[in-house]
Amino acid sequence: MKRRKLAFVVLGAVVLSSLATWFASTQIRSPAEIAARAAPPSASPILVPVEQRVLATKIVSRGTGSYGSPQDLSIPRSALKPGAQVVTSLPTTGAVITAGTVLLTVSGRPTFVLDGAQPSYRDLGPGMSGADVRQLEAALRRLGLNPGAVDGRYDQATAGAVTALYHRRGFEPAIASSEQVQAAQSKQSTVINGAIAQAGVQVPADEVIFVASTPLRVNKIDAKLGAEPRGALVSATNSDVSVSGALPVEQANLVKPGADVLIDEPALGIKATGTISRVAANPGTDGADGFHVAFEVSVSRPPAALVGASVRLTIPIKSTKKSTLTVPVAALSLGSDGASRVQRSVAGNITLVRVQAGLSAEGFVAVTPIQGDLKAGDLVVVGIGSSNTVVK
């Protein structure tokens, strides 16, 4: 019995010794094998497919949507009204003012808005002449009234058209006596410049505001009811929506009026197009700081959410305009002859294709093969990696 136990012990020891010897042998490596395992993997090209796409360089900025061309509206004093005047009615914010509309009233008298480039600066009446009279006649004609010949002379036909304008809005025109006209003329003789004013239907200077174009949208009310009509009474914009932004000085010279702009803000669902309508001549104007140049974008079919929203503005500078072959910039190299080329891989074989490089944008460059074949989907080398890798 003791001998049998001893035999099992000896046998177990032999087995364990054999296993230990086998395990140790599996861990032994020759110097050559160790060197082979420690060596870096063989280098292989990193391949990227040639693409067909439109390339464009662009400037990306931000801007805020608003109604365009803000302007302050004010009125001069009328020499025909020597007493104190007070504001008696005002428009509401957001109101749209068209040509021939009464913007506000002063001491119960209307102040009309008419189209014209020259601001009102004097009372107009029969016997007077000048560019401002011509402007008045042209504005009356555009409203469908008949001022007679648009000749810059205030005559009876002009007076009739003025009367019709006032009646259209429920007011009587201002009619001055000879004494009133003479008193007014003595006060503003320097601006009348020798014109012979006569009694009759007048257009007091404070009863008309000429603006470059209508309609206008009332943006802000500065005047107060019961107060004297001094300074800016109303701030208005045109009814067109625009986006105002600012560009770094070094980019401003790349942007010109008329350039297309993509307007978007995904979070608000805004997507629209527009054109550059104005670029400031100097930095530090129109609300921009000294390192930026202000610009304005006129918007085509603006969405309602655009007004007051901060949006992204993408301005293309150059473009291939149509889809063209493109490769990553890293795929392009120069040969000893100075020509551009790419390395094309077909079934593991690398060939050089000579190309004409074009516009570069967003990490890609447009190429045209001039020696060798190259088409969309072909694989080109952009670098060397540890294994043969295709980047899609």
Same domain, 358 and 267: no
pLDDT digits (tens, 9 = 90+) for 16-62: 666 556 555 566 666 555 555 555 556 788 999 999 999 989 999 99
Q: Is residue 15 part of a domain?
A: no
Question: What is the C-alpha separation between 253 and 280, in angstroms, rounded?
Answer: 10
Region 249-260: mean pLDDT is 93
Last residue of a domain, one of 290, 319, 348: 319
> In the prediction, which pLDDT does 190 show?
43
Residue 185 has pLDDT above 90, yes or no: no
Tell whether 80 and 167 lie within a shared domain.
yes
What's the number of domains the chain is made of?
A: 3
Whether the per-residue pLDDT at 169 is higher than 80: the answer is yes
User: What is the share, in percent, of the chain residues with pLDDT greater than 90?
Assistant: 70
> Do residue 220 and residue 359 come from a single domain?
no
Q: How confident is the model at residue 14 (pLDDT cuts 50, 70, 90)?
A: low
* CB neighbours of residue 382 within 10 Å: 20
Q: Are residues 304 and 336 in the same domain?
A: no
Whether the pLDDT of residue 390 is over 90: the answer is no
DSSP code per residue over 174-186: EEE-HHHHHHHHH
Tens digit of pLDDT for each residue in 53-110? Answer: 999 899 999 999 998 888 999 999 998 898 899 999 999 999 999 999 999 999 999 9
Average pLDDT on 280-298 reads: 94
Q: What's the rounded Cα separation, in Å, for the pair 215 and 224?
A: 23
Q: Give yes or no: residues 255 and 226 share one domain.
A: no
pLDDT for position 192: 47
pLDDT at 234 exceeding the cut of 80: yes
Q: Do 82 and 204 fall into the same domain?
A: yes
Task: List the CATH number of the domain containing 88.
Answer: 1.10.101.10
**E strand segments, 55-158:** 56-67, 71-73, 87-89, 96-97, 102-106, 109-115
**pLDDT higher for 337 or 248?**
248
382 domain residue, yes or no: yes
Q: Residue 347: inside a domain, yes or no?
A: yes
**Domain annotation covers residue 381:** yes
Provide DSSP, 228-262.
Answer: ---S--EEEEESSEEEEEEEEHHHHTT--TT-EEE
Domain end residue (candidates: 179, 199, 231): 231
How high is the pLDDT of residue 194?
Answer: 42
Q: How far apart are CA 40 and CA 139, in angstroms?
A: 86
Q: What is the mean pLDDT of residues 311-329?
A: 93
pLDDT for 339 beyond 60: yes
Identify whether 27 is part of a domain: no
Domain around 290: 58-68+240-319
The pLDDT assigned to 187 comes to 57
314 within a domain of the structure (yes/no) = yes
Burial pattern 275-306, b for ≥16 Cβ within 10 A else e, equals: ebbbbbeebeeeebeeebbbbbbbbeebbeeb
Exposure string over 190-226, b if 16+ CB within 10 A, otherwise e = eebeebebebbbbbbbbbbbbbeebbbbbbebebeee
| 197 and 268 fall within a common domain | no
pLDDT recorded at residue 336: 84
Do 332 and 189 fall into the same domain? no
Domain endpoint, select from 319, 336, 366:
319
Given the DSSP bridges, would you call strands 109-115 and 208-211 parallel, antiparallel or unpaired? parallel
Strands 200-202 and 109-115: unpaired
Structure tokens at 356: 């004409």
Average pLDDT for residues 336-365, to the nearest whole number? Answer: 91
Q: State how far the Cα of 72 lies from the Cα of 382, in Å rounded to an integer.
A: 60
- Residue 329 shares a structural domain with residue 292: no
- Distance CA(361)–CA(57), nearest Å, equals 5
Q: Distance between alpha carbon 57 and the CA centroid of its chain, in Å? A: 17
Does one domain contain both 340 and 355?
Answer: yes
Lowest mean pLDDT among 36-40, 189-193, 254-258, 270-274: 189-193
Residue 297 domain-assigned?
A: yes
Are 161 and 190 within one domain? yes
- 219 and 292 both lie in a single domain: no
**Residue 247 maps to which CATH number?**
2.40.30.170
In a domain, 217, yes or no: yes
The CATH number of residue 369's host domain is 2.40.420.20
Nearest to 205 by CA among 309, 307, 263, 118: 118
